[in-house]
Structure 1
Amino acid sequence: MNPHYSDESLNSYFIKQIKDYAIFATDTNGIISTWNKGCERIKGYTPEETIGQYYGMLHPDEYQQAGKPQEELDKALENGVYDVEDWRKRKDGSLFWASVTLTPIYSAEGEHVGYTKITGDITKQKELQDKLAERQQGALEHKNDQLHKINLDLDNFIYTASHDLRSPITNIEALVQVLQEELTQAGNLNQDTEEIVQRITASINRLKRTIDDLTEINRLHKDFSENPSAEIINIKEVYEDIIADLGFVPKQEHYFVKTDFQVHQLKFSRKNFRSILYNLISNAIKYQSPERDCIININTRLEEPFVLLSVEDNGLGMNARQQEQLYTMFKRFHDHVEGTGVGLFMVKRILDNAGGKIEVKSEEDKGTEFKVYFKAEM
């Protein structure tokens, strides 16, 4: 090292000759005291035009009016450094996107003596980022359009299939009835042929229920696209309406329901709420244990930011593997009761679309509890 040049003077020469970054120092009040070549190249001002001036002159006019330069000095002093990417102003009034680092300077004795500021022009990087973001947004919108078209085609297919299948199924049902009558009149309806007819009838009924479920799924998709309007619903009224309907189901098993509605009203689509509660109650009844009375506990309470609906039973319960597949369409775990495995799939879809959620806790031969979370909006 040349003994005629100190470390301090070499650092000063180095900083002054840097051209790719604007580096300058200020006193404790933000008055500019040094100005390197990078400042002149990036900002357009000569040292004579800036030294002795308040550094806020380098900010956009609206920033100066809002007092942002002083705010930056305060934050740098409070936090030890102030880092940001933001707009800065050139001498000609044009703006550029800059990376800014503002750092307090202290003397050997620990006294605050000023600030140093390093600014880089990253306008090109921002333009590239904006173009990339624009392309990604365009690709996302294109993908969304494609998915919307696929969903629309799927909805149309489900509607057409469910609609067109109803007529031949009705014909098959009528023909089976005629066949049964013909066999009876001919004296050929013995135990074997009657069992065959009953199996055909049972298969037809399962197919009809599947078509009904497909129709319900199509309605659900349509509701999603149309965003069904929410209304203030009375939870107890909906519950009583469901219990009344369940009371008319033939050969219905006995059950006991205990309720505790701490929250009485909810802002939600009435038909969707009814569908959720109906599925949970009817499942608790369907999958009751033959070893004990069916007891169902239903309660609501506020758990900010949600209204919680809990439906708990003491039925057959589920193991961990079954719980993982619980919301899969057409997935069933018990064959001794009627069903297509669509109900819980639709419940979860309704809740996902409405910003809610559903949780389950279950143990085999102990029972199941469903917790449904609705956004607490009034």
Structure 2
Amino acid sequence: MLENDSKTPLINEEQRFRLLIDAVVDYAIYMTDPSGIITSWNSGARRFKGYEEAEILGQHFSRFYTDQDRAAGLPQRALDTAVQEGRFEGEGWRVRKDGTLFWSHVVIDPIIDIQSGTLLGFAKITRDLTDRKMAEETLKQSEQQFRLLVQSVTDYAIYMLDPEGQVTNWNLGAQRIKGYLPVEAIGRHFSMFYTPEDRDAGEPQRALSIAASEGRFEKKGWRMRKDGTRFMAHVVIDAIRSDTGTLLGFAKITRDITDATQAQQALEQAREALFQSQKLQAIGQLTGGIAHDFNNLLTVILGNLEIVRKRMPGEPKLTQLLDNATQGALRGVSLTQRMLAFARRQKLTYESVELSALVQGISGLLQSSLGPSIHIQTRFDEALSPVLADVNQLELAILNLATNARDAMPHGGQIMITADERQGADAAPDKPMAPGRYICLTITDEGEGMDEATLASAVDPFFTTKGVGKGTGLGLSMVHGLAEQLGGRLTLKSRKGVGTTAELWLPVAGDSAPGKAAVEEAAPPVHELKVLVVDDDSLVLTSTRLLIEDLGHRVLCAPSGAQALELYERNLDIDLVITDMAMPQMDGAQLAKLLRDRQPTLPIILATGYAERLEGFAAQLPRLIKPFKQIDLMQIIGQTMK
């Protein structure tokens, strides 16, 4: 035992244990005999549960459990677990004297006579997690009971400090958690348990200062074990004062919460992944909606340009202006197609694709997207076979891979894009490919490269090295998914400080692979029709009416599904209905269903800015994709009415 200075009253070891327990105001600590009969009671227990000592001594501790828990045998199970496993720990509802419930964290440790091995009873620690404001705990046990109680607690490091921070006693929990025997810890300053950086920052002294001035200090932080390993600890330090207010020292409780902290970190990572997914979904919905509205505008522009071209005299300068305006509108069509591809509002369209022509076609977009500090070089084998792919999605995949390469070269550099034919047997043994011919599109950069750990996770959804808010972590996973869907494979090779190579394996298109039709099928002639056109956009409605009237048909217009039904009831001789799909209150599919209920053979065409997924008979209706030209109207009207 250390000698105190003249200002500190001398206390023996037994008194130190009593003062230690008295100073622990954050927990209710009491004892039971081996059968669960309560043999001691403290003020913390009285505060949590409402029973006076005279009322509870001699009673079984199961009275604190709910009726359901008692019926399920939880009290005895807790004691059995403590005996069999050396400790019981759990959380659950407990009952106060007045019948109210409180959520508690409970630890039960068996008290074993060291010499005889006899079970003397149980030490029980309860913490009220429904109310973090602690009240002073007063233990009413014998000096020996306090010693047994503290020494039997192994889940918490419970020990005392003198006013200067020297360790004055040490329990089994402290020995288990921190690895020091009592002889190795007692007499040394408690700052030995702090990390070097916390010691340099003065954290130990600050903790004692706060506890002395405010009565209590509580914090989570990293602490050091004897073997040098670190653990995350929840620490409570309470000041111990005499009746006259003199500071006698500090009671310190430390709990290892490393597992709980790691679980919380995993939860935060899952939340971040969910946020990224929701963000991408919201962007996709927004992009799809914008593209739909943009297609409506392009429908109006292209339709009116066609009407003007037909009715305008053959003035060369005016014709050139109309051609320029039409080309600008068609560029807008290409832009909306890219937006819809990103928003996954388009189905994959398999066609035979010449990779060299595709890369050449988007070279301008690639260069403008990557910036002037990036130099792009291409090299393709002669007579390279076409691949079977979706052009829009493949362009997006190449742009994603090139953008990743650029980001790996913040100071600029060269990106090499090559393609050559390979066999499935040429693939790496650990990533076998199905037999057959493939074109391997390779994008190589001179960037920072990736280590093995990063490379292993590169195609995982939401994995990104670009920092918070600078990437969705879905670029490579989208390319990987596209390659797999097309029957190919995305392979990444990288070395730290050397660069990265992305290989996009795509199957060679067979002789029967679908391709784009070189010539549009001629539209069959159609006699004069009475057509009902429905669209909530007045500009689209007017433009469509003018285009159809120019084809020689009579047109009725309705700005909503309800008004379309009224017009149809007054004009039962309507030959054809062309309705927009996306309308408020009643969409095109709903309108088509109501019209078909009235006239099962009525021809109906759905006009849409993107490919919605429809069910039932609406999925079989012909679709007019916006933006459309007059020839598109002529084609679909002819095909629908034949």
Please give the TM-score of this superposition, normalised by the length of structure 1.
0.48
* Structure whose CA Rg is larger: 2
Q: Which has the higher helix share?
A: 1
Please give the TM-score of this superposition, normalised by the length of structure 2.
0.31
